Amino acid sequence: MTETVEIPVWLLLIVVALAVLAALDDVLLPTARWYLRRHVNKVIDDVNARLRLELPTFQITKRRVLIDRLIYDPEVMKTVGEVAAERGVSRDSLTTEVSRIAREMVPAFNAYFYFRLGYRCARWLLRAFYRVRLAYAHEQTMADIPPDTAVVFFINHRSNADYLLVTYLASGSVALSYGAGEWARVWPFRSLLRLAGAYILRRKTDDPLYRKVLERYVQMATEACVPHAIFAEGKLSRDGTINPPKLGMLGYITKTFDPAGPYDIMFIPVATNFDRVAEERTLVANPDTDFRGRGGRFLMGGTAKFVLKLAWRKMQGRSAGFGVACANFGEPLSLRTWSDERGVDLSRLEREPFFSAIEQLGAELTERITDVVPVLAVPLVSLILTEADGPLEAEEIKSRALRWLNDVRELGAHIGLREGSEAAEIEAAVNRMRKRRLIAEQSGGGLAPAAAERALLTYYAASIVQVRAQLQRKLSGPE
């Protein structure tokens, strides 16, 4: 019993490693999990105490549970059976495919990451380049919304910074869940976005299994009153205007809605605008090309290169920033009220009447977004110069811009410039545009769009031209 036993060094190392793993599994890891869970629960309690809408149970349910619920959802299983019969394959093979889709799609929301780390990162990134403003919020926005209400932010898509801007401005009221496209499938963004509650999408697929899994996930989250954010147009605007809405996600959200049911859906229109859109060159140079088709790695590589270049300039003191990033929150729309007024029960409509009703809903929500698009200095200066017959002196630009502001303010436009500082912000915008060589001094005097940049100025002007046109139509009434 007391004799010495000799063993090889490699075997000793294996025994020690197994002993360490056993200690970790039995003592250290449970302790660490208990500590982290306690910390996260404390964050959830703190957040629920200050949010206008508490975190729904669905949003903080374990990811594995949500994946299993989605895989074995009756409607998903029905589609699996139909597709298996159509393709002549086994149900098991398709169930494996559904499992893979669900694991790719379902988020892993972490309250600590969202409210402690994600929020601070969003705030830092935005403030590093923009002066962030919430210029207008309708008095009913997020006011006295019952807990049994699914809140859906319906947003125009002007820049990929929309994600950060709306999340940052709404963080005091709700924790938003986004659908993130192909670019979000690139590591490490995939994992980070899942922690922030985003669900990963394949935007262009005709696979009936994928579409059914996505539909059911969105519907399960909506029925559990998880706050959503969806982009009205589905992709970035190429011409600067708010384009007609894409109806796919809107259809998923509303398809199972019963006006007499236990929950309501409250749509909140959100309009964003920027003095400078980071993707401006790509959008204007390729108006007919879906540059997302080049892949997530290309998009994220180009974005990373652009951000690093800007960060380097900022550290050198050579960047004056991008100006203002602004969002306005328009008049909410209750789907229950909307359905009652029209005598429509979306859950009972056949395919064609359903899509007709969704088109009407999408058009009304898009109109409410357009009503509250913020008027900012760079779009305003761009509009004055592109509509002018010739070059204008800086003072004349400012004078015309101020008159234009007064005119649209009387029509009901929501101005994103600081009241009392409009003239100073217009002057600053002119100077910034001159430094960027978007506008240039002409030989005969005055400023005009640089020849190579007129399309870019037209892009910026388009957002507020659309606002003015819609407000004028409303004022004149039906013809």
Q: What is the mean pLDDT of the chain?
A: 86
The fold adopted by the segment(s) 67-371 is: Glycerol-3-phosphate (1)-acyltransferase (3.40.1130)
- pLDDT grade, residue 320 (50/70/90)? low
d(CA 114, CA 22): 33
Evaluate if residue 34 carries a pLDDT over 50.
Answer: no
* DSSP assignment of 75-112: HHHHHHHHHHHHHT--HHHHHHHHHHHHHHH-----HH
Among candidate residues 307, 308, 235, 221, the one with its CA nearest the CA of residue 265: 221
Lowest mean pLDDT among 85-94, 178-187, 207-216, 457-466: 178-187
- pLDDT grade, residue 1 (50/70/90)? low
The proportion of the chain whose per-residue pLDDT surpasses 90, expressed as a percent, equals 58
Would you give the end-to-end CA distance of the chain in angstroms? Answer: 105
Evaluate if residue 448 carries a pLDDT over 60.
Answer: yes
Mean pLDDT to the nearest integer, 101-118: 89
The proportion of the chain whose per-residue pLDDT surpasses 70, expressed as a percent, equals 83
Q: What is the pLDDT of residue 222?
A: 96
The CB-based long-range contact list for 197-203 (8 Å cut-off, 24+ gap) reads 197/59, 197/107, 197/109, 197/114, 198/107, 199/105, 199/106, 199/107, 200/104, 200/105, 201/105, 203/234, 203/292
State how beta strands 149-155 and 228-231 pair. Answer: parallel
- For the chain, where do the domains classified as CATH 3.40.1130 start and end? 67-371
Per the model's pLDDT, the better-predicted residue between 67 and 46 turns out to be: 67
- pLDDT grade, residue 269 (50/70/90)? very high
pTM: 0.87
Residue 273 is inside which H or E element, if any?
strand 264-274
- For the chain, where do the domains classified as CATH 1.10.10 start and end? 377-476
Mean pLDDT to the nearest integer, 4-10: 71
**Is domain 377-476 classified as CATH 2.60.40?**
no
Quick: pLDDT tens for 383-432.
999 999 999 999 999 999 999 999 999 999 999 999 999 999 999 999 99
Per the model's pLDDT, the better-predicted residue between 285 and 107 turns out to be: 107
d(CA 220, CA 216): 6
